[in-house]
Amino acid sequence: MTLRVTTWTVHDRSFQLAEPVETARRAWTHRPSFVVRLVDESGRTGFGEAAPPAHDSDAEFVETGRDLRQLVEVVVARRFDAAQAVESVAEFLDAAGGVGSVARFAVETALLDLAGQSVGLPIAALLSGVRAPRSIEVSALLSTSSPDRALGQARDFAAAGFRTMKVKIGRRGRWSEEVELLGALHDEFGEAVRIRADANCAWSAAEARARLDELAPLGLEFVEQPVAPSELMSMTCAPVTLAADETLALPGALDQIIASRACAVVVLKPAVLGGAIACIDMARRAHGAGLAVVVTHSLDGPVAIRAATHLAQALDAPPLACGLGTSHLPPDLAGPAKSVIDPFTAPGLGLPAEQVLP
C-alpha cells in the first residue's frame, strides 16, 4: 500500500504564550512556528509543526521556514510505503539531507500522519510496531513569574493529579529565589510530588558543582543540563541525579553519555533530535544502557506536542513523567490538562482539525 503527496501548504501559526516563560537563556512571550499541511492523492491530510528550539535566536525561525519549504517540495509526487511507513519515511528523510532537525521532524510527522490514516493505525503504533501503545504520565511546568505564583500553581496541579513538576532555574540574579522555591516545594509536598529542575546550560562546571551541592538536600528527581552541552560529560560524581538535554544534539553524544555515566536520564526532544524515528532508536539504546528517558518539547504548539506524545507512547520501556503538558498554550489551543494521557486510538496524528489551524 503506497501513498503519494499531491499538494502542500505551509502556514505561519505563531501564538502568544499563556504567560511568559523565562529560562536561563531567554524570556519568551510568544512562540513562532510553522504548520505544514500535506494532502495525498486520496484526499487525506497530514499535519506537522516546525518551531526552532526555544533557546535559539529569532533568526532560526527564518532558517526553519526555508528548510521546511525546501523539504516539502521534494516530498510532492513521491510515493511512500504506508505499510512500512517508519522505514520508508526514514529512508527518504535520510536521503534528502541538508535540512535542520526541526523541519525534518515536521515533515516526518505529516508523512506518518498520512501513513497512519492510510493503514488505520495511530502514529504511536507505527513507531512501536504494536497496536496497543502505552499510557504515559505527564509532568507540569511551573511558572517563572514568582515563587508565590509557582507554589500556587503547584498546589493546583497536585490537586489535579500531577505527581511530577518542573522548575526552570539558572536565571541571572535569581538564584536565592529559585532555591527558596525549590525548598518550599520540598517542604510542602515531600515525596508525594517529584520535583525536577532545568538549568538550560546556565553554569560553568565550577558554578554547577557548588550549586548542585546546595540542591542536594532538596530531594530533586534530577537537574537537567546544568552546564554547556560539551561540558556535561565531565560532571561525574554529582551530588544529584543529572539529565542530558541540549548535549544530546551533539554528534555521538549519547554514546559519550553512556560511557561517562555522568547522567542517569536523557531528555528526548524530537524536534531537536531529528524526529520521532531517530528518538525511538536513541531511547532503545539509552534503556539498554540503564538510563531513564523523558520525552518533552520546546514550548511547541499542539501538533508537535501531539507527535511527541505519540513517541512517548511508543517506547519499549515506560518513560519517566514526560514534559508534554500544554499549560503554556493559549486556551483555544491547550485542551484539557491531563496528568496521564491514555493511548491514542485514532488513525495517524489524531488531532482535531480545530486545534491544528483554528
Residue among 154, 174, 150, 151 nearest 162 (CA) = 154
Assess whether pLDDT exceeds 70 at residue 99: yes
Residue among 301, 293, 257, 279 nearest 50 (CA) = 301
Span 7-36, average pLDDT: 88
pLDDT at 96: 86
Mean pLDDT score across all residues of the chain: 93
Span 212-233, average pLDDT: 97
pLDDT band at 327 (very low <50, low <70, confident <90, very high): very high
Assess whether pLDDT exceeds 70 at residue 151: yes
Q: Which residues of 108-119 are buried (b: 16+ CB within 10 A; e: fewer)?
A: bbbbbbbbbbbb
Q: Which structural domain range is residue 111 located in?
A: 2-122
Q: Kindly tell me the number of DSSP H helices and DSSP E strands found in the chain.
A: 13, 15
Shared domain for 270 and 350, answered yes or no, is: yes
Shared domain for 200 and 313, answered yes or no, is: yes
pLDDT band at 358 (very low <50, low <70, confident <90, very high): low
CA angle 341, 263, 326 (to 5 degrees): 25
Shared domain for 104 and 167, answered yes or no, is: no
Span 114-129, average pLDDT: 96
Shared domain for 233 and 287, answered yes or no, is: yes
* Residue 277: inside a domain: yes
* Residue 128: inside a domain: no
Shared domain for 217 and 97, answered yes or no, is: no
pLDDT band at 57 (very low <50, low <70, confident <90, very high): low
- Catalytic residue set: 168, 269
| Alpha carbon distances (Å) from 109 to 46, 54, 102, 210 | 8, 19, 11, 42
pLDDT above 90 as % of the chain: 77
Shared domain for 52 and 17, answered yes or no, is: yes
Span 335-358, average pLDDT: 88
pLDDT band at 186 (very low <50, low <70, confident <90, very high): very high
Alpha-carbon torsion, ordered 222, 228, 232, 236, to 10 deg:
-80
Span 154-163, average pLDDT: 97
Stronger pLDDT, 56 or 51, i.e. the higher one: 51
Shared domain for 162 and 244, answered yes or no, is: yes
pLDDT at 54: 59
| Beta-bridge partners for 9 | 37
d(CA 81, CA 114): 11
pLDDT band at 37 (very low <50, low <70, confident <90, very high): very high
Shared domain for 157 and 199, answered yes or no, is: yes
pTM of the model: 0.95
d(CA 43, CA 41): 5
Q: Which residues contact 217 (CB under 8 A, 6 or more apart)?
A: none
Span 318-347, average pLDDT: 93
- A 10 A CB-CB count for 233 gives 19
Q: Return the C-alpha cell found at 14.
A: 505563531
d(CA 203, CA 232): 11
pLDDT band at 235 (very low <50, low <70, confident <90, very high): very high
Burial class from Cβ neighbours inside 10 Å (0-12, 13-18, 19+) for residue 3 reads buried
Question: HSE-up of 184 (CA within 13 Å, CB side)?
Answer: 17
* Residue 104: inside a domain: yes
pLDDT above 70 as % of the chain: 98
Shared domain for 28 and 108, answered yes or no, is: yes
| Continuous segment of H or E residues that includes residue 293 | strand 292-295
pLDDT at 24: 82
Shared domain for 154 and 302, answered yes or no, is: yes
Q: Which residues of 244-261 are buried (b: 16+ CB within 10 A; e: fewer)?
A: bbbbbeeeebbebbbeee
End residue of a domain, out of 100, 122, 144:
122
C-beta separation of 28 from 61 below 8 A: no
Number of domains the chain contains: 2
Assess whether pLDDT exceeds 60 at residue 30: yes
At 61, which CATH number?
3.30.390.10
Residue among 204, 154, 2, 211 nearest 92 (CA) = 2
Q: Which residues contact 68 (CB under 8 A, 6 or more apart)?
A: 10, 34, 36, 50, 99, 102, 103, 106, 107
Shared domain for 217 and 264, answered yes or no, is: yes
Return the biggest CA–CA distance within the chain: 60
pLDDT at 72: 92
Shared domain for 114 and 225, answered yes or no, is: no
pLDDT at 335: 83
At 287, which CATH number?
3.20.20.120
